[in-house]
Amino acid sequence: KHVTRLGAALEHLKTEEPDVVLLDLNLEDSAGYETFYRMRRASTAAILVLSASDDEELAIKTVREGAQDYLVKGTFDGRLLLRSIRYAIERKRSEEALRHSEATLRAIFENSLDGIVIFSGDGICLEANVAAADLVNVPRKELIGCRLCNFCEKGFEEVWAELSLSETGRGQFWAHLKNGSRRLV
């Protein structure tokens, strides 16, 4: 589909989502970075910017903000354009696969019946699932950012050394809960 106005392109995107958008930054009703910005907000398609402007700052800005490539009109041939389109499609598919994989991993983490906690090298909880929070009887939001030693009977260094030395990075320790009870975790 070829359009010469950004408004028509945005209208078209309401009913169809292309794999790639070849975007001229100077349209009848929009020019420059604003054209890219509005298209990026409206579409999840790979955007390949085609511009008459050899503006390095604009090229860097659009690519940093999601354009797959920035080609200056008159400086490339059909083979380069075709290669850029193929690359844009493959990169977009890879990004979508990565997002799907991250969502799957997040769902496994969140829904695991086992308590899972990710600690930084100095023993601060970076991430924990609901099962881990339930295990130590602390709301998840309070668990994140806490130190491991807040929940264990042994000293921090001893527990951390045990976990760090284990091949799996897994270990057990006695946790003191807010209600005064202890639990092996």
pLDDT digits (tens), the chain, 185 positions: 899 999 999 999 999 989 899 999 999 999 889 999 999 999 989 999 999 889 999 999 999 999 999 999 989 888 999 999 999 999 889 989 999 999 999 999 999 998 888 888 777 889 999 998 888 788 899 889 987 667 666 555 666 666 665 555 555 555 655 566 666 55
pLDDT for 138: 84
Show Cβ contacts of residue 13 under 8 Å, excluding neighbours closer than 6 positions. Answer: 42, 43
Structure tokens at 38: 């509005």
- Can you name the residues that pair with 184 across neighbouring β-strands? 174
Give the Cα separation of 8 and 48 in Å (integer): 18
For residue 77, count CB atoms less than 10 angstroms from its CB and return exposed for 0-12, middle for 13-18, buried for 19 or more: exposed
Give the Cα separation of 20 and 31 in Å (integer): 20
Give the Cα separation of 108 and 149 in Å (integer): 27
Return the H-helix or E-strand segment holding 13.
helix 6-13
Taking the model in full, what pTM does it have? Answer: 0.59
